[in-house]
Structure 1
């Protein structure tokens, strides 16, 4: 796996799940009809390897990966930290289910 793109998510101003969803939608370029819930986030991020679906403006190849660098992780509310970990874990699980390598690498910083 090679990192093809890096996205930086700064959690310093994210205090709740709704603001997390809004920031992820901006960073990844989710479509306007994005449902603002955990399932919708998973579906959209899963689309990084499927540009034809139009679920995200960030795209990588079928064998590449995306590094999600998260700043100020340790200071974020527990619910925000748990939600991010769950989202990425499930996205990568879906890729493994399709017999593909995980697509998202997490880089957590203070």
Structure 2
């Protein structure tokens, strides 16, 4: 399995709004993407479907993103829980569709 890496630095992310903004910048979500967990899951689930236009960064069916997260231990619980929940939901969608998970987490300080 081939891996592409995206780094999410949580050092300046103190609330959900700033998390949504940062993920939108990293993944290139469309302007109409809402700032809520469901919209985040929908957009991030589109990484293997460029024709949907939900992200500007995409992977093929046999690829996976390595989401490198810096500073997770020091992040507020709301941020930690949201990131873990979103990745779980996105990966579960792919598993239900008989595909490999789209995201692997790499936690670094």
The TM-score normalised by the length of structure 1 is 0.97
Q: Distance in 2 between matches of 1:66 and 1:95?
A: 13
1:81 aligns with 2:80: yes
Q: How many residues align?
A: 109
1:25 aligns with 2:24: yes
Where in structure 2 are the equivalents of 1:1-110 lying within 5 Å?
A: 1-3=1-3, 5-110=4-109
Maintained 8 Å contact 1:66/1:104: yes
Shift in Å, 1:2: 2.0
Distance 1:101 1:72 in 2: 27
* 3-state DSSP of counterpart to 2:73: helix
Query: Residue 109 of structure 1: CA displacement?
Result: 1.4
Question: Unpaired runs of 5+ in structure 1?
Answer: none
User: For 1:39 and 1:45, how far apart are their aligned partners in 2?
Assistant: 10
Normalised to the residue count of structure 2, the TM-score between the two structures is: 0.98
